[in-house]
């Protein structure tokens, strides 16, 4: 297959069938962006994700969703009704040539069609079959449905997000879905590595609840030791030594996780005549930040930060070897000179409207590449079904007429 990739990438030669919805579409993107030949399988007429906004102005309907365009870069696209008899046969044929299959259906659904791991692995023992579901393939919740909100809540993260005196809050975006896709991506890579040694594929079972639970940092550990639930910390990190403060032109993050950082901060405040009583001996112990004087300290610090800009605080902190930095807006991220200098952003050839984010890593050899934009509905039907699976043009047309493709 001609991919258009100039240099081999880490997953060049690995074929992936992406049957996922919102829960796993990012996993397919992660695989495609490092070289895998990911074939996105949509229902005839297009995936419902194509209706998720925001939308590109003046673009063709079904092809103008920024959500779709972002999560499906470097993939090929075909349409198929996998629930039809002919669709089952076609997917079985595709799976026999695949290295990986990614799916997000309810446990047991694909098995009921003859498309479960136990079925497809009979013809392809090396198949890595990744199932991403809200609660996994086993356990009393296996049949429960769940949205990103459900995963964020039942994974335990929501309880510690927000302010102490308000109900739990959800982070912006699809954080639970993203986390699940990330964990599935890792699991797939591990399974592929295992296959190199054994020749055997396996079923990768990924639970959104478990994926989110692994991100709660100190929360579970603290409960195990103290028997107390962690509290929502608002603008402070749970460790209390990292906080986000309002300043003249926005917000800035100040970390005081070392004695030097705390001493430098209060000395600067004192130099501005705004330290209050923070130079008193009782505040020499930085762990006082955790104690009964926390509210008093926060009041003094914020009164001081409001007299400085983000850049002033950032420059001074960095010059004194402290990890202080501005809270950046979306517009500022797009204009950030560091991100552009490192090639984080990409603009596809012939594209003058869309800028795509890249990968959060650099490989000295060929790694992440933006080769192609998200596929149009059924864009690669002829290529996949006829050139690669061996159907004739007439057979493909018959399937289209019957609503299978």
DSSP string, 77-125: EEE--TTSHHHHHHHHHHHTT-SEEEE-SPTTHHHHTT-SHHHHHHH-T
Contact 174, 148 (CB under 8 A): yes
Tens digits of per-residue pLDDT, 315-329? 999 999 999 999 999
Q: What is the pLDDT of residue 1?
A: 36
Average pLDDT over residues 45-59: 89
Query: For residue 72, is pLDDT > 60?
Result: yes
Q: Which residues contact 210 (CB under 8 A, 6 or more apart)?
A: 136, 155, 183
Domains annotated for the chain, with CATH where assigned, are: 15-214+345-401 (3.40.50.10540), 242-327 (3.30.1540.10)
Q: What is the pLDDT of residue 4?
A: 47
Taking the C-alpha atoms of residue 404 and residue 397, their distance in angstroms, rounded to an integer, is 10
**DSSP for 355-366, written as a single string:** -EE--S---SSS
Taking the C-alpha atoms of residue 278 and residue 266, their distance in angstroms, rounded to an integer, is 7
Q: What is the pLDDT of residue 87?
A: 98
Taking the C-alpha atoms of residue 117 and residue 110, their distance in angstroms, rounded to an integer, is 8
Phi then psi for residue 345, to 5 deg, are -95, 150
Tens digits of per-residue pLDDT, 175-214? 999 999 999 999 999 999 999 999 999 999 999 999 999 8
Q: Which residues contact 66 (CB under 8 A, 6 or more apart)?
A: 53, 54, 55, 56, 354
**134-148, 154-168, 235-249: lowest mean pLDDT where?**
235-249
Taking the C-alpha atoms of residue 200 and residue 165, their distance in angstroms, rounded to an integer, is 52
Taking the C-alpha atoms of residue 387 and residue 279, their distance in angstroms, rounded to an integer, is 76
Return mean pLDDT, the chain.
91
Q: What is the pLDDT of residue 62?
A: 80
Taking the C-alpha atoms of residue 279 and residue 299, their distance in angstroms, rounded to an integer, is 15
Q: What percent of the chain has pLDDT over 70?
A: 92
The token duo for 384 is: 């996949």
Taking the C-alpha atoms of residue 167 and residue 374, their distance in angstroms, rounded to an integer, is 39
pLDDT band at 226 (very low <50, low <70, confident <90, very high): confident
Average pLDDT over residues 347-354: 77
Q: 3-class DSSP state for residue 255?
A: strand
Taking the C-alpha atoms of residue 105 and residue 142, their distance in angstroms, rounded to an integer, is 11
Q: What is the pLDDT of residue 290?
A: 54
* Cα 179-181-187 angle, rounded to 5 deg: 105
The token duo for 200 is: 């055997």
The token duo for 205 is: 């079972």
- Paired with 378 in beta bridges are none
Higher pLDDT residue, 285 or 54? 54
The token duo for 164 is: 């102490």
Write the DSSP symbol of residue 162. Answer: S
Tens digits of per-residue pLDDT, 238-293? 555 678 899 999 999 998 888 899 999 999 999 999 999 999 988 887 666 556 78
Higher pLDDT residue, 347 or 149? 149
Query: For residue 235, is pLDDT > 70?
Result: no
pLDDT band at 60 (very low <50, low <70, confident <90, very high): confident
Higher pLDDT residue, 17 or 214? 17
Q: What is the pLDDT of residue 248?
A: 96
Average pLDDT over residues 122-142: 98
Average pLDDT over residues 309-338: 95
Q: What is the pLDDT of residue 364?
A: 86
Q: What is the pLDDT of residue 242?
A: 73
Write the DSSP symbol of residue 7. Answer: S
Contact 183, 211 (CB under 8 A): yes
* Cα 138-139-142 angle, rounded to 5 deg: 65
Q: What is the pLDDT of residue 200?
A: 98
What pTM was computed for the model? 0.91
The token duo for 268 is: 């600067």
Query: For residue 3, is pLDDT > 50?
Result: no
Query: For residue 404, is pLDDT > 70?
Result: yes
Q: What is the pLDDT of residue 59?
A: 66
Handedness of CA 147, 152, 155, 158 (dihedral sign): negative
**71-80, 121-130, 131-140, 257-266: lowest mean pLDDT where?**
257-266
Taking the C-alpha atoms of residue 164 and residue 332, their distance in angstroms, rounded to an integer, is 30
Query: For residue 157, is pLDDT > 70?
Result: yes
Taking the C-alpha atoms of residue 291 and residue 253, their distance in angstroms, rounded to an integer, is 21
The token duo for 62 is: 């079904």
The token duo for 157 is: 């993260």
Of the candidates 200, 15, 221, 8, the one whose C-alpha atom is nearest the C-alpha of residue 100 is 15
Q: Which residues contact 139 (CB under 8 A, 6 or more apart)?
A: none
Average pLDDT over residues 58-83: 92
Q: What is the pLDDT of residue 2?
A: 39
């Amino acid at each position: 297959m001609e991919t258009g990739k100039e240099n081999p990438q880490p997953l060049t030669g690995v074929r992936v069938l992406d049957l996922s919805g919102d829960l796993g579409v990012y996993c397919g993107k992660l695989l495609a962006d490092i070289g895998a030949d990911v074939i996105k399988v949509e229902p005839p007429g297009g995936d419902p994700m194509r209706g998720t906004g925001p939308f590109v102005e003046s673009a063709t309907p079904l092809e103008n969703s920024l959500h779709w365009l972002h999560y499906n870069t470097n993939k090929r696209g075909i349409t198929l009704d996998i629930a039809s008899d002919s669709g089952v046969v076609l997917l079985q044929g595709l799976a026999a040539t695949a290295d990986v299959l990614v799916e997000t259906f309810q446990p047991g659904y694909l098995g009921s069609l003859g498309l479960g791991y136990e079925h497809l692995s009979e013809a392809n023992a090396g198949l890595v079959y990744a199932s991403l579901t809200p609660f996994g393939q086993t356990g009393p919740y296996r049949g429960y449905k769940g949205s990103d909100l459900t995963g964020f809540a039942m994974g335990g993260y929501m309880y510690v997000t927000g302010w102490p005196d308000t109900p739990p809050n959800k982070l912006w975006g699809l954080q639970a879905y993203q986390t699940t896709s990330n964990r599935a991506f890792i699991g797939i890579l591990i399974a592929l590595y295992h296959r190199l040694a054994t020749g055997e594929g396996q079923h990768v079972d990924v639970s959104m609840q478990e994926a989110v639970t692994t991100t709660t940092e100190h929360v579970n550990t603290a409960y195990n030791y103290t028997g107390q639930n962690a509290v929502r910390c608002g603008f402070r990190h749970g460790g209390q030594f990292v906080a986000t403060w309002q300043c003249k032109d926005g917000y800035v993050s100040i970390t005081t996780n070392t004695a030097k950082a705390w001493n430098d901060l209060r000395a600067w405040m004192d130099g501005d005549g705004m330290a209050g009583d923070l130079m008193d001996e009782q505040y020499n112990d930085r762990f006082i930040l955790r104690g009964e004087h926390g509210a008093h300290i926060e009041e003094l610090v914020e009164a001081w930060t409001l007299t400085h800009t983000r850049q002033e605080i950032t420059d001074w902190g960095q010059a004194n070897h402290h990890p202080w930095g501005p809270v950046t807006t979306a517009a500022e991220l797009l204009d950030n000179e560091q991100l552009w200098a490192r090639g984080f952003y990409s603009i596809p050839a012939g594209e003058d409207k869309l800028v795509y984010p890249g990968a959060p890593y650099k490989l000295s050899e060929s790694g992440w590449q933006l080769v192609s934009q998200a596929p149009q509905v059924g864009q690669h039907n002829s290529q996949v079904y006829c050139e690669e699976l061996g159907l004739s043009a007439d057979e493909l047309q018959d399937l289209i007429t019957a609503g299978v493709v």
